[in-house]
Structure 1
Amino acid sequence: MATTQPVTIEVDTSMRLVAPDFATLAVRASLRYDQRDPYAVHVVFHPDGEGGESISWSFSRELLATGLTEPSGIGDVRVWPWSTPRGEAIALALSSPDGNALFEVPRNVLTRFLRRTYGVVPRGRESEHLDVDAALTRLLAERER
């Protein structure tokens, strides 16, 4: 019996950090999807220069997909359609005890990324790709750290 390796999709992109005065600053980031974690997407922010640590946010793939057409999410992660002078975008608002950040993400980048994830795990079929035993093992291992 042949086994297949889990598929991971990673897309490097540039997001724009939106300041309170609506000035923007380009930020290097990656969008990541792992078939072994079929309900989640990950945004990894990469530091400029040497020595900085990447910062990763994980949230629901469905939250991201819904945010392409209407406001989605409450609390720490919110996503909604956003128009800019640079074209159609998606707003990604992240909130933590350390502060808040608003990012502008090109809509076409997110649309293509989500389309690729649906090619690996179709929308609504996530439960067929979830290895509950492996997920539980990962959670317990993280708890012990």
Structure 2
Amino acid sequence: MLLPIVTSFHYSSGDPYAARISFHPDPDNTPGITWYVERDLLSVGTRARSGTGDVQAWPAHGPDGAYHTLLQLGPPAGRALFRVDTPGLLAWLTLTHSVVAPGSEASHVDWQPFERLLTEYGAQ
């Protein structure tokens, strides 16, 4: 059974590897549920099976012949499967690629907090 769910996709250069996906089953009464998914996993999932464990994506054709990307979230005992319109997802991914080009994510990460931690713990 398919149930429509209001979903919003977010991307920030401050967290360049991740896409934030918020699911709003009842947008009038709840804040929704948010998952952070690797952007590359979504991109690969539009054309081939991608991911392992709790987050996986793969291409599929809908009953109407339209292209969809299936996004599976959660552990085996409580998985949810979402059908995402592939052309819409690809358009959104293209926008994220204009913010941070694929392969350049590391140059957008602020490494200073990690360097401070390493310095603090390395000095002890």
Q: Normalization by structure 1: what TM-score?
A: 0.72
1:104 and 2:83 aligned: yes
**Cα deviation code 1:76-127 (max 9, x no counterpart):** 0000001102411000001148711001000011100100000000010001
Overall identity of the aligned pairs, in %: 37
Trace 1:1-145 onto structure 2 (pairs within 5 A): 23-48=1-26, 50-86=28-64, 87-96=66-75, 99-133=78-112
Q: Is the 8 A contact 2:57 2:70 kept in 1?
A: yes
Q: Which has the higher helix share?
A: 2
1:47 Cα deviation after fit: 3.3
Structure possessing the higher radius of gyration over alpha carbons: 2
Gaps of 5+ in 2: 117-124
**Cα deviation code 1:47-86 (max 9, x no counterpart):** 3154323100002111111111100000000000011024
Whole-angstrom CA distance in 2 between matches of 1:26 and 1:114: 22
- What secondary structure, in the 3-state scheme, does the structure 2 residue paired with 1:34 have? coil
Closer/same/farther in 2, CA of residues 95 and 89 from structure 1, 3 Å limit: same
Computed over aligned residues only, the root mean square deviation of the Cα atoms, in angstroms, reads 2.0
Q: Normalization by structure 2: what TM-score?
A: 0.84
Q: Is the 8 A contact 2:46 2:59 kept in 1?
A: yes
Gaps of 5+ in 1: 1-22, 138-145
